[in-house]
Each structure stands twice: as structure tokens, then as C-alpha cells.
Structure 1
Amino acid sequence: MATLRLLGIAAAVSLGAVGLAGCGQENGGGSVDGSGKTLDVLIGANTNKADQFRSWQAHIADAFKKQTGADLKFETFANANDELSKIQTSVVAGQGPDVYQVGTTFTPTAYSTGAFVKFDKSMWNKVGGRDRFVPATLGISGPNDQDEVAVPFTDRPYVLAYNTDLFKKAGIDKPATTWDGLLEQAKKLTGNGVYGFATGYADNYTPWKFAWTMANQAGNPLVDGNKARIDDPTVKKAYETYFGWLTKDKVVNPAAVGWNDTQAAADFASGKSAMMLMTTASSKVTFDASAIKGKYEYAVMPTVPPGQSTMPAGGSPVSSIISGDNLVIAKYSENQDLAAAYIKLLTSDDEQINYNKLFGDLPANAAAAKKVEDADPSLAPVLASASQAKSTPFTGAWGDMQLALTNVVVQSRQALSGGGVSDSALQSALAKAQKDAQASLDRAAQSK
């Protein structure tokens, strides 16, 4: 029951942040004899690039067969609820997939179940060595470097994209490094059918990241030991800023109240907005196939919180959550060495670069990341953001807390459509989020 409690509805949100399966090939692995065996892997289906995804599956299965003699069985999930059901069933029953691909924000919840293999020196060596990864991507592999369960697979640090033509016409050199400064630029860029910012208020996964980022920059990590800190002025200021772009400052298209990130990206790609906020390197594939190809660049998002011109005392210059996909191995698996060989293959230099070319996500493998950066200098800001990224709190309660932060936006959308969220309504929503978050932290503490 403890496992189910930890995996509950919180995971439904966090799991949705899980990205697509990773790509991979290179000359990793090969020493494990898997003849006659089949490795079962659970991954998320990529419906946006279905043909490429099918090709990648066939490619990686062929490479794995050549290296180990084993077959691959891919189980895919279509959405968060589907994935949650598969994971709950398997973990509780003690049978199912050998390897799970999970999003970084779900890793603490996965860790708290105790259902996945811990990576000691021997296990790290089996997947090619811990030192092969970009250091920042290891920040959420476990609560500390002695208790890690997750191997980094993809890296998706958040940045902003900006239209260089629109910036030049407005006489602006580059995006500001403070949120207040960026807002002033957005106001200057808004007009004649163009808006300063593109973002999706109805997206299932992005809105809470604005609150988390701005609060952390102001010195509030949202969790202090076993105490939630959502009912804090820094969080209220973050939501007021985020909502205000749409209702008070009017630098966002009013239609964005119903947009997800895909729609926001399409708006930016059409040249109807000057900046796309909270995007990742994977957007490059979309932007380079649009009218703005060669007319946009990436930049690190502001690291100074709203209402401040410099970093406040106790603040943290965080640019992004540690974001991406991790790979974990089930304890019940009878094919753990084979699972390690699969992970070694996916995180090898060649396969990481191959995946980047197919889907745009940055490699977690340091050597591959360096090659990608050298080949495309436009990604330098994305890698810079990765170096300034910070992990979400490593607690099994984080999924529920993420849901609570998301619900503040969900509960406010009707008011946003009507012109604005009142102070009392926002206070009430934050109080509810605080109560729910604290209850989840208390349950997590009791289950230890």
C-alpha cells in the first residue's frame, strides 16, 4: 500500500513530463550474452514523430541484438494515466518491464518506492561509468551520490527563444537577464499583431515551472525539510507575474489562456510572438522547419526574480529545473545485466548524437554533448542553462506538490479568461495548494 500511495495521482502529473524514448547506438556494451532472452522496456510513444520513432525502435533493437544476442520488447504508453497504470501494476506485482524510462521530476517518487536498483560503483561501470555524464544531469539521480537509482538519458534544460528580426526592428540587442527587464522588452515588442511572449497557460506541465523558478530565484526552494512553502510571498509574486503577462501587461495573446506548449511554439514559429518562454532544444526541429528558420536564437532565461534588479540575498540564480529523461532498472528484473547493457548502448556517444539529430533533446553523455555544441554553436545558451539548472526537491511527495502548483493555474484559468485573478482568489488557491502539498509531505515522511 505504501508503494501505491507514493505512486498515486502525483505520479500521473509527473509522469506526463516523461519525454520520448531515447535513441541510441554506438559501440557500448556487448559483453553480456543475452542469447534467447528478451529485454522488456517501457517508454513513451512519440506520436508527433511517429515514423522517426518507429525507425529508432527498429534501429536500437537491431543494434542491441548484434551486441548481446537478445531481443527488445518495447512497451509504450500513450499518456500519463496509461503509464501510471502500467508502473503501478508492475511494481506491486513484482513483474513487468525490466527498464523504465521516467522523467526527472518523477525520479524522486520512483526512488521512494524502493522498487528500483541502486547504482553502486559496479552498476555504474556496467553502464559505461558515472563520469561519462554531464555532471548537472546527475543532480536528480538520487538523494545523494551514494543512493542513486537513475541513469541520465536526455537533457532538456529550459531556455527562451527570441526572434532576432523582431528584436532588431525594436532596437533590442538581446533578452534581458531580469524578469522585470524582459517584461519591459516584451511591452516594446508587442503591437501590430505581434505579442512579446508566447506561452501556454493550459499546458499540463509547464506553468508550474514558472512559479518554481521565480520562487527559487527569490530564495524559496518550496520545501524546507518536511515543510511546504507554497503559501509564501515569493510564490504569490511568481503567480502574479505569470498571470499579469496575460491580463495586466497584455504581452501575451489572449488566446494563450487555452494554449498548450505546442500551440505556443507554433505561434512563435509563425512570427506572431517575439519570444517563446520555457522551451527546450527539442523545439529547434520545429523552428527550423518554419518561417523563422535562421531568424531566431536561444538565450538563458532571466535568473533575477520579479521585482528585483539584482539577485536578492539568499536567492539562487537558477535558470531551469534539471529536466530530461532517466532510465531505471526494476529490482524484480531477472535481466539486470542485460538491462545495464541496454542503458550503456543508449547513453553511448554515437547513440546520444543520433537521438539529438532525430528528436532534438540534448545528450546526457558529456562527450556527446560537447560534440553537439561544437557542431551547432546556437545551442551554447541551452548548455549554459543546463549548468545553472537545479533539481526539484528530492522527495516522494514532489509529484503531489507539482500537481498542487499546476492546480493553481487550472483553477485560475476561467478568471484569466475574464480579465484577471483577484487577490483573494489567488490567496485561496495558494492556501489549498499549501494544504495539499503539506499533506503529501507528511505522508511521505510517515512511509519512510
Structure 2
Amino acid sequence: MEITRKNFIIGGGLGALSLALAACGSSPESSPNTGGGTGGAIDGKGKTLTVLFSTKPQYPEEQKAWFAKTAEDFKTLTGATVQWETFPTANDEMTRIQTSVVSGTGPDVYGLGTTFTPTAFSTGAFVKLGDNEWNQIGGKDKFVPATLGISGPDKDNLIGIPFVSRPFVMAYNTELLAKAGIDKPATTWDEFAEHGKKMTTGDEYGLAVAYKDNFDPWKFIWAMSIQAGNPIIDGKKARLDDPTVAKAFEAYFGWMTTDKCVDPAAVGWGNAQAVAAFAAGKAGYLPMTSPLSIPTLDKSEVKGKYQYALMPMVPPGETSRPADGVEAASILSGDNLVIADYSPNKDLAFAFVKMITDADAQSNYYKIFGEVPTNVEAAKALESDPLVAPALDAASKSVATPFSGAWGDVQLALTNVAVQTIPDLSAGSVSDASLTARLKDAQSKAQAALDRAK
């Protein structure tokens, strides 16, 4: 079923929207390059362009400064005023976008996490990108090809313009690995757990894992499952009840309950707390992070003592990836920019998008926030940086989540298994019966979402 503006809420789109928003927070920050337009100067004097982005709690002052500088530069370029609208949580974004889609009024430009793009596409509320639209922002070949992998269902139906790439990697403390006699980072999930146990001593733990984070847990399960050959969504069938999913959750929860290589306090941690523990030198591995953590780590106790590496790509219980397994170093993650189809300021919207995706803007954004550029020229400039090289490698080995309007519901079903298990983790064990029951419920909800989306 296509989710149109009229039936968006009735057909279950609201649930899909709220869930997909939890996928990846969108946090576009960059410093614009005002040169080199493709379609001549645009006169925006007296006009206002409304732009909706998420807040960036890690770097609030930096984002505030970027908002001000970007607005100033855009006014110099076009004469138009930028009105910023922000949201602090996925639910707030859901409400804002749902209202705009139904009413046909609202922001001109939206920043979306990449895994929200399928649901956004299904609304029909955003501009499809043809040759003319790509030319207005400098051409499709301006972008790293891999970052276009979740811009639409196929090459002829794209709505998402890549803004930043957020490939996930793991950080490791070089001193703690050496002290434990580990000569190189883990390449299998079993080895990852073994290393975690070796590095756990006193108040130092092998792993820093954010069990209560809204975004991280499902990504571990998704990666381990598809590495084992289970795609999670197989055509019209959800496969959350597959044994590979259970094994993934068992490994993920087992780092705390069985291996005991995670700080017990991590039951209540979000990603920021996990990063803080690693930054304080209290953990050997910080999985499911990105170069976004560089500004924080370079101001911490581990400056000069950490590196990044690919996360393991061999599923739990295996010494090599099965023949039908997928080499998934990361989800295809980052932020897309989309332009509202109802916008009366599309020319200004495209000028704005061009400005913040030009090479100088993207390079400056990376220097401030540590997000990997999607601009080819800006990304290429990072290839010689050994700290960032693993993230670029992860980007090349990233796999897109299914382009389905139901993906948000499937993702939330995986997330809810982790959320519902927090009390068990606090108590120190997770029973097979509890996990089986939660996976059964998750499978039912995911399959219902797929059935609605047919």
C-alpha cells in the first residue's frame, strides 16, 4: 500500500514513521561554501527558508555557531533568511513531520537519518530527484556513490541527498590491548568477547556497550544476523524468529551476563555514557561508534592512545562467515537531506543543499564534528588520515537496511527486545524462555508491519 498524505495515519504510517525516526538521528552540521552555483544567482531577498534539523547534544555550542554562520552565508549568497527548526527526540521529529505531511505545509528542507528515508519516500511528500534537480546541487557524481545506496528504492526514484556518512566502527584502547597481550583487534564476535574478558580487571572493562541506548542495540543484532545469512526481511516475510537472531541477542546480552566484561552500570547507559567510559580509559573496546567521537576522544585521557578498526564481520559461534553470510561492516548510515514537495521555495532549498554539500563545507564540518563527508572531493582528502581510514573502509563495506516502509516497525521490534530485557540484565541473567517469548512477539509485530505495507 502506498502511504499517501490522506491515508498516512490510517494505514499504519504513523507507527512506521515514529520507528524509522529512531533509526539514526539526523544531525547535519557543516560550514557552507558559497561559491560555484550551477544555475546562476538566486534572488531570495525578502524570503525565508525553513530548515528542520535535529539538535546535536554532544556539541550544542558548536551547532549553535554553525546555525548562525550558515544562515549568514546563505543570506550573503541569496538574500534569503534561514529559519531553523529543531527537534530533540525522535518522537518530536515524528510529530513535526507527520503534521507537515498531512497538512502540506511546514519546513522546506528536512534532515533525515538514512533509515528513515524509505518511510519518507512512501509518503509521496518529498521531491523526486531527476537530472534537473541533481544539476542544481552540483550533479549526482559530486557524491560518494555508496552514500546514495539508501536515497530511494532504485536509481530512478531517489529523494535523499546524502549529507553525511556515519559508518560504524569500533574504537580500541591501544594500551589496554597491549597490556592484555592482544596484538590486533578482534575480527570475529567470539574473539571480541574473548578479548573483552582478557581486558577486564579491577575497574577496567573490556567493552563499553550502551544497553539502554535508543539507537545502538538493534544495529548489533542486524549485523550479526545478516553476517550469518539471515536478511531479517526476506521478501514479504519477517525473520526475527530465525535462530541467528536469538544467537545474536544471546551474544550481545552475554557480554554482560556470561562474559562479565561490561561495567554493570552499562545497563543504564546511552551512547554518551559508553563514549565517556572509553574516553576515561576504562574500556578496551568501544563498538558501534564513528569518527563523530573524535572531537570528544581527542580532548580526553585516551588522546593518542586509541585507534579505530572494523567491527567483527564473522557471526557469533563461527570462525568464518558462512557462505550465505553478508560482509556487513556497518549499516549504510548517515543523514540525507530531502526537500518538501509542497515547498514554495524549491529554488532556495536546492541552493541551500548545494551550499552545505560542497567540498569546503563538508571538509569544515568534518573538522568540527567528525562526521564523514559524502562529497567525493572532501572524502578523498581524508584517505591519508590513518585514524579515519577504517571508517572509510567500513563505508565501502556498509550494507543498506531494507528499503521498506515497514522497516521502522521491524527495527523497533528488535529494539523492544533489548528494552524489555533491561530488568533481566540488571538481575544478572536472561533466560531462554524470556528471550524466546520476546522474539515471538517481535516477529508477530514485524510481520504485521510488512503485511500492512504490501
TM-score above 0.5, yes or no: yes
Amino acid at match of 2:152: G
Answering whether residue 366 of structure 2 is matched by residue 379 of structure 1, we say no
Whether contact under 8 Å (1:229, 1:434) holds in the other structure is: yes
Match of 1:45 among 50, 55, 58: 55
1:417 aligns with 2:423: no
Structure 1 residue 165 corresponds to structure 2 residue 182: no
Deviation by residue 1:18-47 (Cα, 9 ceiling, x = unmatched): 232321311243632222211111111223
**Distance in 1 separating the partners of 2:77 and 2:131:** 23
Higher mean alpha-carbon deviation, 180-189 vs 25-34, is at: 25-34
Whose helix fraction is larger, Structure 1's or Structure 2's?
1
Whether the 8 Å CA contact 1:9–1:400 is kept in 2: the answer is: yes
- CA distance in structure 1 between the aligned counterparts of 2:172 and 2:58, rounded to whole angstroms: 23
Distance 1:310 1:52, change over 3 A: same
Aligned positions of 1:173-252 closer than 5 A:
173-252=183-262
Conservation of the 8 A alpha-carbon contact between 2:382 and 2:389:
no
Which of 410, 415, 429 is matched with 1:401 structurally?
A: 410
Structure-1 separation of matches of 2:265 and 2:64: 34
User: What secondary structure, in the 3-state scheme, does the structure 2 residue paired with 1:51 have?
Assistant: helix
The amino acid across from 1:36 in the alignment is G
Measured in 2, the distance between the counterparts of 1:2 and 1:433 equals 25
Is residue 189–residue 196 contact of structure 1 (8 Å, CA) maintained in 2? yes
> Hey, what's the Cα distance between the residues in 2 that align with 1:45 and 1:184?
37
Which residue, out of 65, 70, 80, partners 1:70?
A: 80
State the identity %: 55
Deviations for 1:364-407, whole angstroms, at most 9, x for unmatched residues?
11110111333x32110011000000111100111111110000
Q: Pairwise mapping of residues 24-423 of structure 1 onto structure 2 (< 5 A)?
A: 24-26=31-33, 27-29=35-37, 31-374=41-384, 376-423=385-432
SS in structure 2 opposite 1:373?
coil
- Aligned residue in 2 for 1:427: 436
Unpaired runs of 5+ residues, structure 1, are none
- So what's the TM-score if we normalise by structure 2? 0.95
Cα offset, 1:12, TM superposition:
2.5
Amino acid aligned to 1:281: P
Distance in structure 2 (CA, Å) of the matches to 1:167 and 1:45: 35
Matches of 1:209 and 1:401, distance apart in 2? 12
Matched-pair contact (CA < 8 Å) for 2:29–2:63: no
Pairing 1:432-443 to 2, within 5 Å after superposition: 432-443=441-452
Distance 1:20 1:415 in 2: 33
AA of the residue aligned to 1:176: A
Question: Pairwise CA RMSD of aligned residues?
Answer: 1.2
Aligned partner letter, 2:90: A
**Match for 1:440: what amino acid?**
A
Whether 1:2 aligns to 2:7 is yes
Cα pair 2:315 2:321 within 8 Å, conserved: yes
Aligned residues: 444
Question: 1:285-340 deviations in whole A, cap 9, x for unaligned?
Answer: 11111000000000000111111111101110101001111000111111112111
Q: Distance in 2 between matches of 1:38 and 1:6?
A: 33
1:399-430 CA-partner distances (Å, limit 9, x unpaired): 11111000000111111111211111111100
CA distance in 2, matches of 1:87, 1:7: 12
Query: Which residue is equivalent to 2:3?
Result: none
2-side partners of 1:403 and 1:297: how far apart?
31
Counterpart of 2:30 in structure 1 is 23
Structure 2 residues not aligned, in runs of 5+:
1-5
Structure 1 residue 53, shift from structure 2 partner = 1.1
Contact 2:28 2:164 in 1 (8 A): no
